[in-house]
Structure 1
Amino acid sequence: MASSSSSPSSQRSNSHRFTVGYALTSKKTKSFMQPKLESYARNKGITFVPINHNKPLEEQGPFDAILHKIYGRDWREALEVFSKRHPDVIVLDPPEAIQHLRSRQSMLQGVANLNLCHQYGKVGIPKQLVVTGGSLSAPELVTRAGLKLPLVVKPLLADGTANSHALSIAYDVPCLSQLDPPFVVQEFIKHGGLLFKVYVMGDSLNVVRRPSLADICVGNSGAHGLIPFPRVSSASAPAEESYLDPQTAELPPQQLLDSLARELRQRLGLSLFNMDIIRAREKLNNYYVIDINYFPGYGKMPDYEIFFTEFLLRLSKKC
């Protein structure tokens, strides 16, 4: 990988090592840049170098790849300029592609348009509605759309902040008037209190089970109004096998996930993302993608240092 520019970022060492500059939040650095990853990668010829946010990218490096998860226009513009000047440096991932996952209105559109029907199952998204605060109230919009209760209510913006994870269950339509738009409402699909986190790294993927919200029966639960619920799926511990329904707990077919991940990589233009997938309890071969996240919590995935290093090694061979 070489460039005609004489800046540090474009000067390639004669060493065989593959250098990855990373620009991450302090929280992401702590969870992802663990000693086991740096040690394992170093033994495979990969070096991680932190990027100084207070210095121009042109003055840093050289880099073979840049790994980033920072939100903000200044960083995005700086990275886009850098990429134009140094097209041989791999950027994980392009800022313009990441933007599609910051809105829950656009993040699932690729899945909906795909309408994947496979011999091993069908993949779609829950019926949903975006409430943006127009002339019609949220209850009116939901009633017109014919969405069935209960409803999962999510903020429209998905930017990794605490507010973006403030999810609720609406047990009746009038309670939606309590919320300030914009937000998204999705029909709740019974899925046995379990979801599958599918971690994608280029052309490889890994699946883990995570606990999710228990199945809800409207009218029998005694609940009403709007009830917030915690981020149960973010727990690092896997779902307890002894409490799972064997049918809903069975991992989705590998062939189905491979097809889905391959198509979404092309449609999204991303290499690093994960999908939260649920299996409909009443139709076990029907799967629904309920969220897609860029550069997710790989550090919670078993042996993530091995999978991620292998991903980088495959990239290095393309240089």
Structure 2
Amino acid sequence: MRLKGEQFGAEGEEEEEQKLVVGYALTLKKKKSFLQPEFERLACKRGISFVAIDVNRPLSDQGPFDIILHKLSGKEWIDIVEDYGQTHPEVAVIDPPDAIQHVYNRHSMLQNVVDLNLSEFDGRVCVPRQMVIMKDQLSIPDEAAKAGLKLPLVAKPLLVDGSAKSHELFLLYDWSSLSKLEPPFVLQEFVNHGGILFKIYNVGDAIKVVRRYSLPNVTKCQLADVPGIFPFPRVSSAAASADDADLDPDIAELPPLPLLERLSKELRHRLARSSIVQYRYDQGAWDKRHLLCN
């Protein structure tokens, strides 16, 4: 990999400083949100340049790159990235396709959290009771009862593929509403959490925590008097920032950094050593006793 640094010619004269080149393949939406002018100026000052990858040309004919940053899906693109990684092992691919597969499935992704044991910290990490619905909505109430699930429930698409549909979220107050949803999806108990969640971004050893507005608490009166299903698109998006809101201190308190550091380390290991880990705490948030990962 080419690294930023001073280079000298045969006569000892100083050559132009070499930059780190990042080739990116992003959706138009991701490009607009990621490649902000201020970010590009900062990157330039740090010796980093971003170059758009032309997906209609062979990847091997482009570059040279030090890093491939991609956020595209589809078997054809995945095959291209995998082949490029094999023929150019000196180039860091973020993230490797095999690592991405671990986080495409919501149920299996959260299973990594279920298997964690972080009991030595002030608090614990857990996942709300959940089950996967693949088909036959009519049998869901009986199956959910066997699994110990109770109303209200949250339903989310099983697969996270970056599409708008994969970000859909529904809050259900009664069992009959399940027939309106299209499988496959994950069905999860809803836990009141003060309407705030913490979204954690982890790159390498760096951890950034932001507060986002989430689903409101559900009262017993609502559960008894307001049947039905309610959609909540794009919960926890950047537009829902609560960092500057005047919040109850018990709700706004961030999880302790040592717990986040250990959790990040464990998830990175279990998610095939992914370079970038993004996760969120809601459904109970952090209340000095437990942290529910969703």
2:145 counterpart of 1:143: yes
Partners of 1:248 and 1:40 in 2: CA distance: 34
Greater CA drift, 241-250 or 85-94 = 241-250
Give 2:234's aligned residue.
Answer: 231
Partners of 1:27 and 1:240 in 2: CA distance: 23
Q: Is the 8 A contact 1:151 1:186 kept in 2?
A: yes
Count residues in correspondence: 280
**Aligned match for 2:108, one of 106, 109, 127:** 106
Q: Is the 8 A contact 1:118 1:256 kept in 2?
A: no
Unpaired segments ≥5 residues, structure 2: 3-14
**Aligned match for 1:267, one of 265, 270, 291:** 270
Give 2:210's aligned residue.
Answer: 208
Give 1:162's aligned residue.
Answer: 164
Partners of 2:68 and 2:286 in 1: CA distance: 44
Q: Name the SS of the counterpart of 1:233 in structure 2.
A: coil
2:254 counterpart of 1:248: no
Q: Is the 8 A contact 1:123 1:287 kept in 2?
A: yes
> Residues 25 and 242 (structure 1 numbering): CA distance in 2 closer, same or farther, change over 3 Å?
closer
Partners of 1:235 and 1:126 in 2: CA distance: 24
> Residues 266 and 53 (structure 1 numbering): CA distance in 2 closer, same or farther, change over 3 Å?
same
2:286 counterpart of 1:276: no
> Residues 135 and 167 (structure 1 numbering): CA distance in 2 closer, same or farther, change over 3 Å?
closer
Partners of 1:17 and 1:241 in 2: CA distance: 36
Q: Is the 8 A contact 2:173 2:226 kept in 1?
A: yes
Q: TM-score, normalized by length of structure 1?
A: 0.82
Q: Name the SS of the counterpart of 2:258 in structure 1.
A: helix
- Quote how far apart the aligned CAs of 1:120 are: 2.1
Partners of 2:259 and 2:30 in 1: CA distance: 30
- What code does the residue aligned with 1:263 have? E
- Quote how far apart the aligned CAs of 1:279 are: 6.7
- Quote how far apart the aligned CAs of 1:235 are: 3.9
Unpaired segments ≥5 residues, structure 1: 3-12, 291-319
Q: Name the SS of the counterpart of 2:211 in structure 1.
A: strand
- Quote how far apart the aligned CAs of 1:158 are: 1.2
Q: Is the 8 A contact 2:67 2:91 kept in 1?
A: yes
CA RMSD of aligned residues (A): 2.2
> Residues 276 and 78 (structure 1 numbering): CA distance in 2 closer, same or farther, change over 3 Å?
same
- Quote how far apart the aligned CAs of 1:219 are: 3.6
Partners of 1:280 and 1:134 in 2: CA distance: 30
Greater CA drift, 114-123 or 34-43 = 114-123
Q: Is the 8 A contact 1:248 1:279 kept in 2?
A: no
Greater CA drift, 118-127 or 84-93 = 118-127
Q: TM-score, normalized by length of structure 2?
A: 0.89
Give 2:25's aligned residue.
Answer: 23
Greater CA drift, 131-140 or 268-277 = 131-140
**Aligned match for 1:55, one of 54, 57, 60:** 57
Q: Name the SS of the counterpart of 2:70 in structure 1.
A: strand
Partners of 2:280 and 2:151 in 1: CA distance: 21
Which one scores higher on RCO, CA 8 angstroms, separation ≥ 6? 1
